[in-house]
């Protein structure tokens, strides 16, 4: 009883919620990107690699800018970091799209290979930058990192409400805006209708005059770019512009799990990302010893399995993955 | 004045080594209903797919309204006013009817599903469709889905409507409704092309008939001047006897005795309700009933694929003379007793065949256990596949060519042929002629008759009552899982069987 009270008193604090949001944002970017990709019928398991590439891409852009400018401007650093992250992650998604859409390679194998590849690229470039950075080996893009961490000046000072809602950098709000935007796009626009049709039944979409290949490419690459922003968030706002090889951890997989948890809906992914973020750090708030911590770290995945079980049992067609997810499409295949 | 809506000149399309269309000519006039006839694999669907932009012709010319056009994709076809309703519906299951109709159609202005719904309702009223635009596709019956397809095409302002075997999945009443709608369209000045196998439909509905045979164009006749026999001859290239032989059963002896067999589905519904039935050797027993009355469950119960909740199935083994109880045996044990099931599901490949394997591989599915040690015997299956190909006239580039790529009739011949090759004592055939053309159907009927003469007990589940009354010796009628009648097919009329099929429903009402 006492234990539960301790836990509750620790969990129901402003800091816990704040940290849950901080952990949730990269997941939300990743899940939004993966939802777009999966709605096009492509199961991109390369998302962890792509997010990692986005992280190192953003770092690279900012790093060379700050290296060559003794008095760097935060705005330019942010811009270059953005360009770097988007280019790297879009490139990763392009490799996946080329292999699975044009060459019709197996999506699972391609995705897993891409995750391994992306992690390798990230570690390689991260290591190289450390050498360039010099003796200490510790990269910092301090100015850019601080620019990413800038909060809205007045609002963040308000007690309770300030730290809860206004203590984050602009990427946090961008992640929410993107999720809202794509939720609207999916349900309320012709593009969304076409995109969903491509993922459900590409032959039908094709017969209806939709360019299936173009939709698959566009949304797979766009999805990769959006997911890459999750990596950018992690390296810039979360780490404050520093780098550590493999620091990204299993967040990429968590983003894919979040897609299932959210039942392929960006709006559910928003609150789902905060739930996952909270579950991800919960172990630090429950004093049960080291062994128990490892079990608690599994919580987000356990919840995902539960969601899978429940949605499979309920068998509602609206809660299932896109029907042709994982299958490649070839028009004249009989 | 009548004008040509579509004219095709010398269209050719190849798939790898298979020539699907070879120099085909076709003319469709405005304000007429044209039937396109041809056996399975004669290239009807391929031809229509070229008109609707799914395939691109290798050579040849298409003229719409007298002008040469290039149809590169479905969009081009829509722009020309050509709309196709495919045999396999092209609908997204989780979308509503209205969403499916709006899909891919770029109207001016914002995407507004309510405006779409309103226009759909308007079209339905004009031509006499019954459709709820807000219903999800997965909640719909086959005929409703077809309505969605047709409305979708009309929504796009199609002037030329192509229907690929629209009646194959409809009940007689639904077919009548469809024909009434098609006649409304014809009166509206639209051109309608209908692909079908059913000759009486061709004769009642269409103005002209064009015939294809093995990918080549045979000719076009006015329906008024055609008869079922003359059309069949054009289609097949030779005279076909449409009469079915029905020899009297020789020395019938009880082969299978079913007693009070009941089965319960996963949802707790009685799919079979105390069915008692004796199947004799040397006869063809027909099973009639509205779709989903328990036909499938009955066959599966006998084959051991579905557990029965009560009752017994007793099998009289001619080889040993012993009486065996089938209940509780595994499907494999039952098959080894000589009871074979050839079930042709709606998608043909769903059960029984592996689409990506060739004929040899599929034949092996029945014999792979008989090899020596850990090795399978490939030689015997290959020879058997070769023999089936020759005996049943299966059109395939080779016995190792994936069966998925064969046309429906050939797939069914492989399926039925394989089961017959095992020399069964009981042969169960469910819908073996579903979607088949006349020639292939008669090949299958002949195969069943041959088995009957060999003393096999044949159980035939079919959809066409006319055929069942000609082919079967006795007909058992199922309704809601209950056996509502067991009649002598020689002395029964279609109306009598029809009454038995609906008996339960009347009681419920």
Cβ atoms of residues B11 and B47 within 8 Å: yes
Q: List chain A residues with CB under 8 Å of B404.
A: 334
Q: List chain B residues with CB under 8 Å of A201.
A: 90-93
Which residue among A197, A209, A332 sits closest to B55, beta carbon to beta carbon? A332
Q: Cα A194 vs. chain centroid, distance in angstroms?
A: 24
pLDDT of B509 reads 36
Q: Which residue has the higher pLDDT, B408 or A108?
A: A108
Q: How far apart are CA B274 and CA A316, in angstroms?
A: 34
- State the ipTM, two decimals: 0.84
Q: Do A209 and B92 touch (CB under 8 A)?
A: no
Contacts of B358 (CB under 8 A, 6+ apart): B385, B398, B399, B400, B401, B402, B403
Cβ atoms of residues B26 and B75 within 8 Å: no
Q: List chain A residues with CB under 8 Å of B74.
A: 206-209
DSSP 3-state of B493: coil
End-to-end CA distance of chain B: 52
Q: Identify residues of B whose CB sits under 8 angstroms from chain A CBs.
A: 15, 52, 54-55, 73-75, 78, 84, 86, 90-95, 99, 102-106, 111, 136, 138, 404-405
Which residue among B90, B94, B103 sits closest to A203, beta carbon to beta carbon? B90
- How big is chain A by its Cα radius of gyration, in Å? 20
To the nearest whole Å, the CA of A185 is away from the closest chain B CA by 11
Q: How many helices (H) and strands (E) does chain B have?
A: 17, 20
Evaluate if residue A333 carries a pLDDT over 60. no
Q: How far apart are CA A194 and CA A202, in angstroms?
A: 10
pLDDT of A89 reads 97
pTM for this entry:
0.75
Task: Give the CA angle between residues B74, B76, B78 to the nearest 5°.
Answer: 70
Cα–Cα nearest to A75, from A88, A87, A66: A66
Which residue among A189, A204, A320 sits closest to B92, beta carbon to beta carbon? A204
Q: Do A188 and B111 touch (CB under 8 A)?
A: yes
Cβ atoms of residues A220 and A37 within 8 Å: yes
pLDDT of B344 reads 60
pLDDT of B122 reads 92
Cα–Cα nearest to B421, from B482, B349, B367: B367
Q: How far apart are CA A161 and CA A18, in angstroms?
A: 11
Task: Spell out the domain ranges in chain B.
Answer: 4-236, 254-338+425-508, 352-422
The DSSP code for A242 is: B
Q: How far apart are CA B293 and CA B167, in angstroms?
A: 21
Cβ atoms of residues A54 and A85 within 8 Å: yes
Q: Do B111 and A190 touch (CB under 8 A)?
A: yes
Cβ atoms of residues B486 and B277 within 8 Å: yes
Average pLDDT in chain A: 90
To the nearest whole Å, the CA of A230 is away from the closest chain B CA by 31
- Dihedral pair phi/psi, residue A110, rounded to 5°: -60, -45
Cα–Cα nearest to A269, from A35, A14, A104, A90: A35
Evaluate if residue A20 carries a pLDDT over 90. yes
Q: At what angle do helices B438-453 and B228-236 cross, to 10 degrees?
A: 90
Q: How far apart are CA A219 and CA A213, in angstroms?
A: 10
Q: List chain B residues with CB under 8 Å of A317.
A: 93-94, 136, 138
Task: Please give the CATH architecture assigned to the domain spanning B4-236.
Answer: 3-Layer(aba) Sandwich (3.40)
Q: Which helix (H) or strand (E) holds B12?
A: strand B4-15
Q: Do A200 and B92 touch (CB under 8 A)?
A: yes
Q: How far apart are CA B166 and CA B198, in angstroms?
A: 11
DSSP 3-state of B177: helix
Contacts of B446 (CB under 8 A, 6+ apart): none
Which residue among B90, B94, B405 sits closest to A317, beta carbon to beta carbon? B94
Q: Identify residues of A whose CB sits under 8 angstroms from chain B CBs.
A: 188-190, 193-194, 196-197, 200-201, 203-210, 317-318, 320, 323, 331-332, 334
Q: Do B99 and A188 touch (CB under 8 A)?
A: no
The domain B254-338+425-508 having CATH identifier 3.40.50.1240: the answer here is no
Q: Using one digit for the tens of pLDDT, what is the confidence trace for B413-454?
A: 888 888 777 778 888 888 887 767 777 788 888 888 888 888
The residue with tokens 């409304």 is: B184
Which residue among A188, A205, A318 sits closest to B104, beta carbon to beta carbon? A205
Q: List chain B residues with CB under 8 Å of A331.
A: 54
Q: List chain A residues with CB under 8 Å of B103.
A: 193-194, 197, 204-205, 208, 210
Q: How far apart are CA B160 and CA B157, in angstroms?
A: 9
Instruction: Give the whole-number percent of chain A exceeding pLDDT 90.
Output: 58
pLDDT of A39 reads 96
Q: How far apart are CA B404 and CA A27, in angstroms?
A: 42
Structure tokens at B382: 């290959």
Beta bridge partner(s), residue B18: B15
Contacts of B285 (CB under 8 A, 6+ apart): B279, B457, B458, B459, B460, B472, B473, B474, B475, B476
In which band, very low, low, confident or very high, does the pLDDT at A199 lie, cut at 50, 70 and 90? very high
Evaluate if residue A80 carries a pLDDT over 80. yes
- Dihedral pair phi/psi, residue B272, rounded to 5°: -130, 135
CA pseudo-torsion sign A3, A5, A7, A10 = negative
Q: Do B93 and A188 touch (CB under 8 A)?
A: no
To the nearest whole Å, the CA of A34 is away from the closest chain B CA by 20
Domains and CATH numbers, chain A: 2-319 (1.10.3470)
Q: Using one digit for the tens of pLDDT, what is the confidence trace for A216-232?
A: 999 999 999 999 999 99
To the nearest whole Å, the CA of A116 is away from the closest chain B CA by 32
Which residue among B15, B84, B92 sits closest to A197, beta carbon to beta carbon? B92
pLDDT of B368 reads 67
Cβ atoms of residues B302 and B489 within 8 Å: no
Q: How far apart are CA B124 and CA A170, in angstroms?
A: 51
Q: Using one digit for the tens of pLDDT, what is the confidence trace for A21-30?
A: 999 999 999 9
pLDDT of A11 reads 80
- Dihedral pair phi/psi, residue A158, rounded to 5°: -60, 135
Q: Do B99 and A203 touch (CB under 8 A)?
A: no
To the nearest whole Å, the CA of A133 is away from the closest chain B CA by 53
- Dihedral pair phi/psi, residue A248, rounded to 5°: -70, -20
Q: Cα A23 vs. chain centroid, distance in angstroms?
A: 11
Q: How far apart are CA B65 and CA B92, in angstroms?
A: 32
Cα–Cα nearest to B99, from B122, B82, B117: B117
Cβ atoms of residues A72 and A248 within 8 Å: no
pLDDT of B370 reads 64
DSSP state string for B13-64: EEETTEEEEEEEEEEEETT-EEEEE--TTSSHHHHHHHHTTSS--SEEEEEE
Q: Do A207 and B75 touch (CB under 8 A)?
A: no
The chain A residue lying nearest B84, using CA atoms, is: A207
Contacts of A92 (CB under 8 A, 6+ apart): A46, A49, A50, A53, A54, A114, A117, A118, A224, A228
pLDDT of A113 reads 96
pLDDT of B350 reads 58
In which band, very low, low, confident or very high, does the pLDDT at A308 lie, cut at 50, 70 and 90? confident
Alpha-carbon separation of residue A249 from A119, A234, A244, B459 (angstroms): 10, 11, 11, 62
Cα–Cα nearest to B338, from B456, B472, B473, B459: B456
In which band, very low, low, confident or very high, does the pLDDT at A334 lie, cut at 50, 70 and 90? very low
In which band, very low, low, confident or very high, does the pLDDT at A58 lie, cut at 50, 70 and 90? very high
The chain A residue lying nearest B14, using CA atoms, is: A332
The chain B residue lying nearest A206, using CA atoms, is: B74
Q: Using one digit for the tens of pLDDT, what is the confidence trace for B453-506?
A: 888 888 998 877 778 888 899 999 888 788 888 888 888 887 788 778 766 544
- Bridge-based pairing of strands B482-488 and B474-479 is antiparallel
CA pseudo-torsion sign B168, B170, B175, B177 = negative
To the nearest whole Å, the CA of A155 is away from the closest chain B CA by 37
Q: Which residue has the higher pLDDT, B154 or A207?
A: B154
Cβ atoms of residues B79 and A211 within 8 Å: no
Contacts of A6 (CB under 8 A, 6+ apart): A287
| Chain A to chain B Cβ contacts (< 8 Å) | 70
Residues of chain B with pLDDT under 70: 1-2, 40, 169, 171-172, 238-242, 267-268, 291, 342-351, 367-373, 435, 502-509
Site from B16, B104, B113 to mutate, A interface, most A CB atoms within 10 angstroms: B104
């Amino acid at each position: 009883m006492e234990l539960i009270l301790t836990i509750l008193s620790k969990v129901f604090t402003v800091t816990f919620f704040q940290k849950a949001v901080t952990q949730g944002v990269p997941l939300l970017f990743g899940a939004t990107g993966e939802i777009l990709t999966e709605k096009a019928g492509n199961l991109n398991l390369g998302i962890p690699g792509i997010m990692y590439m986005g992280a190192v891409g953003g770092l690279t852009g900012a790093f060379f800018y700050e290296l060559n400018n003794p008095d760097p401007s935060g705005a330019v650093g942010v811009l270059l970091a953005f360009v770097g992250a988007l280019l790297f992650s879009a490139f990763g998604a392009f490799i996946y799209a080329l292999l699975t859409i044009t060459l019709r390679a197996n999506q699972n194998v391609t995705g897993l290979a891409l995750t391994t590849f992306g992690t390798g690229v990230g570690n390689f470039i991260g290591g190289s930058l450390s050498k360039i950075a010099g003796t200490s080996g510790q990269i910092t893009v301090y100015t850019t990192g601080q620019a990413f961490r800038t909060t809205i000046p007045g609002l963040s000072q308000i007690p309770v409400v300030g730290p809860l809602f206004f203590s984050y950098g602009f990427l946090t709000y961008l992640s929410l805006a993107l999720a809202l935007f794509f939720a609207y796009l999916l349900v309320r626009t012709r593009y969304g209708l076409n995109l969903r049709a491509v993922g459900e039944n590409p032959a039908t979409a094709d017969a209806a005059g939709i360019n299936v290949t173009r939709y698959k490419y566009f949304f797979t690459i766009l999805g990769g770019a959006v997911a890459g922003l999750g990596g950018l968030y992690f390296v810039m706002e979360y780490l404050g512009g520093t780098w550590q090889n493999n620091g990204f951890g299993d967040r990429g997989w968590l983003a894919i799990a979040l897609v299932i948890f959210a039942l392929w809906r960006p709006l559910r992914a928003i609150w789902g990302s905060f739930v996952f973020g909270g579950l991800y750090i919960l172990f630090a708030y429950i004093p049960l010893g080291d062994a128990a911590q490892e079990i608690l770290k599994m919580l987000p995945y356990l919840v995902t399995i539960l969601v899978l079980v429940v949605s499979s049992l309920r068998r509602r067609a609206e809660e299932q993955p896109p029907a042709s997810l994982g299958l490649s499409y070839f028009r004249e295949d009989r | 004045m009548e004008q040509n809506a579509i004219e095709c000149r010398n269209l050719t399309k190849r798939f790898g080594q298979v020539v699907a269309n070879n120099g085909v000519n076709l003319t469709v006039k405005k304000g007429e209903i044209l039937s396109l006839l041809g056996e399975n694999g004669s290239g009807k669907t391929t031809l229509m797919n070229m008109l609707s932009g799914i395939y691109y012709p290798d050579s040849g010319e298409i003229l719409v309204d007298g002008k040469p056009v290039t149809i590169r994709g479905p969009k081009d076809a829509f722009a020309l006013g050509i709309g196709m309703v495919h045999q396999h519906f092209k609908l997204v299951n989780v979308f509503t009817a209205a969403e499916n109709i709006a899909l891919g159609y770029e109207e001016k202005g914002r995407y507004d599903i309510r405006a779409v719904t309103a226009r759909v309702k308007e079209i339905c009223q004009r031509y006499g469709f019954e459709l709820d635009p807000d219903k999800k596709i997965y909640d719909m019956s086959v005929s409703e889905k077809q309505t969605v397809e047709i409305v979708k095409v009309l929504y796009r302002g199609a002037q030329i409507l192509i229907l690929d075997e629209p009646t194959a999945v409809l009940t007689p009443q639904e077919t009548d409704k469809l024909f009434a709608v098609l006649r409304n369209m014809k009166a509206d000045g639209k051109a309608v092309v209908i692909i079908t196998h059913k000759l009486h439909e061709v004769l009642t509905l269409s103005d002209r008939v064009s015939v294809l045979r093995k990918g080549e164009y045979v000719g076009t006749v006015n329906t008024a001047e055609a008869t079922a026999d003359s059309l069949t001859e054009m289609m097949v290239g030779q005279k076909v006897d449409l009469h079915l032989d029905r020899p009297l059963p020789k020395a019938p002896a009880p082969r299978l005795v079913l007693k009070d067999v009941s089965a319960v589905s996963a949802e707790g519904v009685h799919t079979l309700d105390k069915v008692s039935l004796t199947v004799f050797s040397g006869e063809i027993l027909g099973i009639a009933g509205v779709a989903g009355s328990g036909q499938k469950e009955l066959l599966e119960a006998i084959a051991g694929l579905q557990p029965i909740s009560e009752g017994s199935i007793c099998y009289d083994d001619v080889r040993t003379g012993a009486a065996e109880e089938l209940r509780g045996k595994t499907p494999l044990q039952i098959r080894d007793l000589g009871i074979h099931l050839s079930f042709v599901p709606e998608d043909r490949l769903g059960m029984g065949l592996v689409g990506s394997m060739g004929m040899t591989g599929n034949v092996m599915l029945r014999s792979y256990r008989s090899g020596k040690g850990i090795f399978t015997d490939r030689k015997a299956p290959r020879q058997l596949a070769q023999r089936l190909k020759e005996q049943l006239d299966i059109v395939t580039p080779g016995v190792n060519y994936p069966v998925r790529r064969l046309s429906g009739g050939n797939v069914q011949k492989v399926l039925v042929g394989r089961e017959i090759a095992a020399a069964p004592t009981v042969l169960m055939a469910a819908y073996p002629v579903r979607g088949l053309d006349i020639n292939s159907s008669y090949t299958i009927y002949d195969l069943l008759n041959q088995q009957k003469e060999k003393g096999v007990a044949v159980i035939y589940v079919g959809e066409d009552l006319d055929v069942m009354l000609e082919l079967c010796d006795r007909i058992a009628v199922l309704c809601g899982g209950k056996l509502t009648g067991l009649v002598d097919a020689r002395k029964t009329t279609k109306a009598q069987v029809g009454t038995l099929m609906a008996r339960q429903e009347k009681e419920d009402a």
